[in-house]
Every structure is written in structure tokens, then in C-alpha cells.
Structure 1
Amino acid sequence: MSSESAPAGRPVRIGVQVQPQHAEYAQIRRTVAAAEEAGVDVVFNWDHFFPLYGDADGRHFECWTMLAAWAEATSRVEIGALVTCNSYRNPELLADMARTVDHISARDGQPGRLILGIGSGWFERDYAEYGYDFGTAGGRLDDLAAALPRIESRWASLNPAPTRRVPVLIGGGGERKTLRIVAAHADIWHGFGDPDTIAHKHAVLDRWCAETGRDPGEIERSAGAEGEPGDVGERLHAAGTRLFTFGLNGPDYDLAPVRDWLAWRDEKNA
């Protein structure tokens, strides 16, 4: 990993994805509050209409109405979807929704705390039951590439504008299309895989940055993490990852494993 794509000054951050499935909303709300109190940096949900694990017809809640509630209920953590499905909302509408949640999350003269996490979509059941055209993976990626400039343009024209330049997180590891889109538009890239896979994806992303004239150091590198911070964490950190995110499944959202990572974060940032 080059020093360009992993700036020495970028701190380690810890995120949790509170998966909005198999739980009452009161359990989700308590988990978000507990994560903020524990010192987590970012709390994500996801943008699906049905559970991804366990009972396929179990309890599940919608993404963006939940983010608006989190914006009001929290005061410090950044919030966002990991990730929004580009197919489910008109880009101009999504930009306005994001701007509104950004304003709701602003506190005491500080700017808003929304991260716009976005991807091309993949869960076919969502499309089939909610009437969206599933199309092809390549077509959905093309739609994402076309939507991002529209979102950016709408932010520039809204009154009031967002409280800050809303960070854009793009999820996905496709090397031919997805990482090219990341190089053009993202502030954060999120991927999954072992440290060697993540390091390889970083190198591909760096090459796309070189082709597009983008400074790779501008893009924070995020990855799903599990296991021990002294092992997996150190290896991902050496590969350039700085945002480490953990999935929490309902109804028994367990923050205990995250606490060791929070202590490791504090040691790395000291």
C-alpha cells in the first residue's frame, strides 16, 4: 500500500452496521444509542426491504425514514446506509432526502453528520416485490455512474444547500466499473474480503485514480471486519484500511466484540 493512498494523518475509525432486521424498532433505537455512547464513529443501516439472513419474511424496516429518526436521536456519530440502492429512488429525490437528513443531524452550530453510502443494488427480491426493473449488473452500474453527477448537481441547486460537502461512500469491488466510479466520485470506498483481497482492490483503485487524475489519498478506505484487532485489524490497517465496520444482526445486537476494536482504535490514533 502506497503512502499516497493511506495518508499517515488519516485516523482509524470504527463503524457498526445495525442491520434493520428481526427486531422491534425500539431494539434498534437502543442499539444506536449504545453504539454512540460506546464511542463508535459511524452507525450504518442498509437499504433493503426484506431480511438478508435468517427468516426471509422476518421483521424488517425501511432505510431512509430510519436514518431521519437516527439523525434526530443522535448527537455525535455519523450516520448513513451501507449502502443505499441507487435503483430505488430518483437521483434528484435521493439528493433532497440526503440534504434533509444532513440538516436534521446538525447540532450546536456543527454541520450535519450524514454519509451518503450508495451502490448499484443486487438483491433481486427487493426489485421483484417492489416493482423495480432488475436488469443486469452492468446496467445497474451504468445507472449508478449516471446518477452520481445528478445527485451532486441537485445538491448544488437546493435551498438550503447541505450543511457540508456530504461525503459519498460507494460500496462494491468490481474492478472494471465499480472502482472506476469510486475514483471519480467517492470520498470513501467500502469493500469486503481478507486483507490480501482488500490490498489488491486498493491497488486497482489507485490505478483508476491515476487514470482520472484523482489523488488516491482523498479516498478513505473502509472494509468489513471481524476477528481480533491485533490480527485482522493490523493486517487491514497495513493494507490502508482506516474505517473498520462490523455487522450487528437483530434482535440481540451485540456490541461486546466492537469494544476491543474501539480500544485498538484509540491506541492506533494516540
Structure 2
Amino acid sequence: MTRSIRIGLQLQPQQQPDYGVIRDTVLRAEDAGADIVFNWDHFYPLYGDPDGAHFECWTMLGAWAEQTERVEIGALVTGGGYRNPDLLADMARTVDHISGGRLILGIGSGWFEKDYDEYGYEFGTKGSRLDLLAEYLPRITSRLGKLNPQPTRHIPLLIGGGGPKKTLPLVAKYADIWHSFGEFETHTEKSKILEARCADVGRSPSEIERSTSWPGLEHAAAYVDEGISLFTVGVGGPDYDLAPLLEAIGWRDENSPPPLSGLA
């Protein structure tokens, strides 16, 4: 199964106190030809001034749903423990409708301790956070099936992470998109493990789109050979330089096969 190459932008909502700049950057990315615009689900900056300007993820996605026309939108990724999972499903369904069916529901187990401590969530351990994600995923999928009105489409579920014992089995069971972190060799190793976990649950690995951060022009083709079709460029404030995004889009347009019917 051959997928067309897609390019996403992760617009990191940090170090820029003027939301208008963020709004304009989303429009610039859509006009430039990005396929997806992501934000992230943190409450404080991850680099630069640790107490610098920062905006919340899901309220922002609702605004993006109204202001955009073509791009898919989502979080890369939602912190799994920050919201009641039934509420998160309802939020996702609502943004799905506002956007006309363009939401990707990205989720992970969470890792940034300051978010937890400052907002009163239990940080626990890496294992306990993954256990909570495993508990929440079936609740999310169940609630999506009960909502009235129903989502406009099957909302693609993106799971970020690569732990072989807990995360990859969840990817095999629930994910439409797997976002891999780490170097090329790490991805290839984890990809083989994911194929085995898919076999455990009787699912074809080809049903899961492979995603990672943009590795640059010199490395992108090797990642495509390993099955990755979604690359995301991350940019932070205050300036939101889109030059790397334009580079990735240009490479996509030169190298992507034409999309197959019914396949992103």
C-alpha cells in the first residue's frame, strides 16, 4: 500500500503573547500547501524562557477549525491524563464538526512534569501514565460511538510514542497514525516491533500511517523507504519561521506519488 507524502506543521504556541501572530501563521501554512497544522498540549514553554507566553491547546483548535478551510488540524499530541477521556471525545467530536471533518485526534501519555505539578495533575511514573492512557483509549472510542450527533467521519487517532511493551500494543490496537520519535535506527527497530504487535491483534500494519518529525532533505527519502509518509516540521515563537516548512512542501511536491482513491 503506497501512501502519498503529507507535510504537517507543528505550530508550538509558546513565546508569543500576541495570538494574532499565531492565527496568521496558521493561514500562511495553509496557503503554502501544508496538509496538517498541529499544535501541542502543554501549559508552559518547552524551550526558551520557561515562564514565557503560552496558550492552551484545545481552545486554540476550535479557533483553527473556524479560520481554516482545507488543512487537517490536531494536537501533536494531547496529554492523555489532562482531561476526562469522555470529555475529550466530546471535545474532539465538536471540533470535528466545526472544522467540517478535518480533526486528527493526537494523544500520548504525557511527560512534562511541570505541566502536571503546576496544574494539579498526578505525575506518577512513566508506567502509570501509560497505564492511564490504556484505560482511557477504550473510553474515548466508546464515547465517540455514543455522541449525538455522531462525528462527521471516523476521526483519525494518532498515537505518539514508541515504548515496545505498552505504547506499541496500543498503537496496534487503536491508532490510525503512529508518530515515532527518535533517530532513524530507532524508528526502524520500533517499526518491526509494531508489525509484530499488529500480528498479535490480527491487524495489517499497512492500516497505520507512519509519521515522524521532518528529518531534512538529505534524509527524507530514507524514511519514506521505511514506510513513513507524514513528516511534521516544528516551529516555535515568537517569529514562526516557515522556511523549513516550505522546504519540506517543495520536497513533497517533487517526490510524492499521486494519491490513491480513498487513501490519504
- Secondary structure at 2:228's aligned position in 1? coil
> Residue in 2 aligned with 1:68?
62
1:260 aligns with 2:254: no
Query: How far is the alpha carbon of 1:227 from its aligned partner?
Result: 2.4
Aligned match of 2:26 in 24, 32, 39?
32
1:21 aligns with 2:14: yes
Separation in structure 2 between the aligned mates of residue 66 and residue 173 of structure 1, nearest angstrom: 27
Query: How far is the alpha carbon of 1:201 from its aligned partner?
Result: 1.3
Spell out, residue by residue over 1:180-211, the C-alpha distance to the aligned partner (whole angstroms, 9 max, x if none). Answer: 11001000000122222211111111111011
Number of residue-to-residue matches in the alignment: 256
> Residue in 1 aligned with 2:111?
122
- Secondary structure at 2:129's aligned position in 1? helix
1:194 aligns with 2:183: yes
Separation in structure 2 between the aligned mates of residue 245 and residue 217 of structure 1, nearest angstrom: 20
> Residue in 2 aligned with 1:241?
228
Query: How far is the alpha carbon of 1:265 from its aligned partner?
Result: 1.0
Spell out, residue by residue over 1:110-131, the C-alpha distance to the aligned partner (whole angstroms, 9 max, x if none). Answer: xx10000000111111111111
* Equivalent pair of 1:199/1:240 in contact (CA under 8 Å): no
1:178 aligns with 2:172: no
- Secondary structure at 2:28's aligned position in 1? helix
Separation in structure 1 between the aligned mates of residue 118 and residue 244 of structure 2, nearest angstrom: 35
Q: What RMSD, in angstroms, separates the aligned Cα atoms of the two structures?
A: 0.9
Spell out, residue by residue over 1:7-54, the C-alpha distance to the aligned partner (whole angstroms, 9 max, x if none). Answer: 22x110000100000012111111100000000000000001000000
Q: Which amino acid aligns with 1:162?
A: P
- Secondary structure at 1:87's aligned position in 2? coil
Q: Which amino acid aligns with 2:147?
A: L
TM (normalized to structure 2)?
Answer: 0.95
Aligned match of 1:214 in 203, 207, 215?
203
Separation in structure 2 between the aligned mates of residue 103 and residue 217 of structure 1, nearest angstrom: 28
* Equivalent pair of 1:167/1:187 in contact (CA under 8 Å): yes
Query: How far is the alpha carbon of 1:176 from its aligned partner?
Result: 1.0
Separation in structure 2 between the aligned mates of residue 235 and residue 269 of structure 1, nearest angstrom: 14
TM (normalized to structure 1)?
Answer: 0.93
* Equivalent pair of 1:91/1:150 in contact (CA under 8 Å): yes
Matches within 5 A, 1:32-111: 32-106=26-100
Separation in structure 2 between the aligned mates of residue 258 and residue 80 of structure 1, nearest angstrom: 17
Query: How far is the alpha carbon of 1:268 from its aligned partner?
Result: 2.0
* Equivalent pair of 2:216/2:248 in contact (CA under 8 Å): no
Separation in structure 1 between the aligned mates of residue 56 and residue 114 of structure 2, nearest angstrom: 15
* Equivalent pair of 2:178/2:211 in contact (CA under 8 Å): yes
Query: How far is the alpha carbon of 1:260 from its aligned partner?
Result: 2.1
Query: How far is the alpha carbon of 1:269 from its aligned partner?
Result: 2.3
Separation in structure 1 between the aligned mates of residue 181 and residue 136 of structure 2, nearest angstrom: 24
Aligned match of 1:12 in 5, 17, 22?
5
Query: How far is the alpha carbon of 1:99 from its aligned partner?
Result: 0.3
Query: How far is the alpha carbon of 1:254 from its aligned partner?
Result: 1.0
Q: Which amino acid aligns with 1:104?
A: I
Spell out, residue by residue over 1:196-255, the C-alpha distance to the aligned partner (whole angstroms, 9 max, x if none). Answer: 221111111111101111110000000012322xx2111111111100011101111111
Spell out, residue by residue over 1:147-189, the C-alpha distance to the aligned partner (whole angstroms, 9 max, x if none). Answer: 1111111111100000000000000111111011100100000
* Equivalent pair of 1:117/1:169 in contact (CA under 8 Å): yes
Separation in structure 2 between the aligned mates of residue 87 and residue 197 of structure 1, nearest angstrom: 26
Separation in structure 2 between the aligned mates of residue 27 and residue 207 of structure 1, nearest angstrom: 44
The runs of 5 or more residues in structure 1 that have no matched partner are 1-6, 107-111
